[in-house]
Amino acid sequence: MSSETSTPYTPASTSTTIAGNETVSLADEIKKYDTAKLIEFLQGRENIGLNEPAIKILENEEVNGLDFFDLTQEELERHGMKLRDSLKEVLAKYDIKSNGTDAIPLFSLQPTKIQDSNKHLGHCVENILFRMKHYGSLVVDSLESMRNEYVSTILHMALHIAEDETSKEFSMRPEFEIIGEESSSRIDYAITLESSYETNRRRKRKREEDDFDYLYGIVTTARDWHFLLYSPGEISQASELPLAIEFNKKALVKDSEEYKTLHSGVKKVLGMVVGMLIDKASAEDESPSKKKARVEGYRSKK
């Protein structure tokens, strides 16, 4: 996000009632917060999406509530504190009036069946167990950096499996540039076919009105995985409930139920990610009309 004018960032206008029935603005209350109280407040605001690096910035700079209101949006983002759209605002771009994912239409994509004997599945689980040995179980307040290690491991293994299945080369680039409405919020990774990367770069400035294309998105906490399908003006999800991976340290015992649960969860997530990659590889050379028919078929199955 960027702005031509530097205006102080102010949370949405809200008021609260304190003792004696005196009503004051939330902004006035926030200005009284010390650094710890300010961080606690911001962590509770889903539309801000405060992550661990942002918290460190606030702590290191000892930013209090009054300082926060003197900061401009540009200053916040220059220090790496990007302000994300709320879920409601993102869904509104697709004419979905809701605060939750339950209102997102469904699509159906056949996941890739991954055998238990698949070497990449085995490497993925072993890699996760190695990390859990040192990190412990993944819990609600686990650091984002820890979650990203698990996510990166799973995505890399999915690439290897997809390459074996398609004989095509994929690449994964952190903070890869995405063109379109869905680029407004933070993107950690994007995966592309190497053969189409340069073509897409050349085409992005010369798009014709009928140049239909689509992409898949993944929203994950490492534990919960939501799979999305984007096309011009539309968004769909693979299921109302996310696929889940239980990162329980008890899984280090390989004959335990926790290990079986971890293995099953990783296998299901890999199958879905690989299915998306194979689908995009299959559609790489299709005409816009065929891609559109493909997407409409996925959405009509639900």
Q: State whether 210 and 247 are in the same domain.
A: yes
Which of 217, 118, 212 lies closest to 163 in space, CA to CA? 118
Query: Does 4 reside within a domain?
Result: no
If you search the block for the tokens 């919020």, which residue do you land on?
185
168 with 283: CB under 8 angstroms? no
CATH code of 44's domain: 1.10.150
> Are 130 and 30 members of one domain?
no
Quick check: is 7 in a domain? no
Does residue 72 share a domain with residue 200? no
- Dist CA 251 CA 133 (whole Å): 10
Alpha-carbon distance 7 to 134, whole Å?
A: 44
217 with 279, same domain?
Answer: yes
Query: For 17-74, how does the pLDDT look when each residue is reduced to its tens digit (9 = 90+)?
Result: 333 333 345 556 666 677 777 677 766 655 455 566 666 666 666 666 565 555 544 4
As for how many domains the chain has, the answer is 2
Question: What is the C-alpha to C-alpha distance for residues 287 and 293, in angstroms, rounded to an integer?
Answer: 10
One domain, residues 73 and 136: no
Q: Confirm whether 94 is domain-assigned.
A: no
- pLDDT tens by residue, 122-151: 999 999 999 999 999 998 778 888 888 999
Residue 47 lies in a domain: yes
Same domain for 141 and 275: yes
Q: 116 lies in a domain? A: yes
Could you tell me the pTM of the whole model? Answer: 0.65
At 54, list the tokens. Answer: 């942002």
52 and 118 inside one domain: no
Is residue 2 situated within a structural domain? no
Mean pLDDT of the chain: 74
Is there a domain that residue 288 lies in?
yes
Rounded alpha-carbon distances, angstroms, from residue 105 to 99, 108, 214, 237: 14, 10, 16, 6
pLDDT tens-digit series, residues 163-214 = 999 998 888 766 544 334 443 333 356 566 554 444 454 455 455 445 788 9
Q: Which domain holds residue 67?
A: 15-84
* Residue 29 sits in the same domain as residue 178: no
- Of the three residues 84, 112, 131, the one that is the final residue of a domain is 84
Q: Are residues 153 and 242 in the same domain?
A: yes
Burial category of 94 from C-beta neighbours within 10 Å (exposed 0-12, middle 13-18, buried 19 and up): middle
DSSP character at residue 104? S
Residue 291 has pLDDT above 80, yes or no: yes
Compute the average pLDDT of residues 219-223: 88
Using the 3D structure, point to which of 84, 118, 136 is the last residue of a domain. 84
Please indicate, yes or no, whether residues 127 and 34 belong to a single structural domain of this protein. no
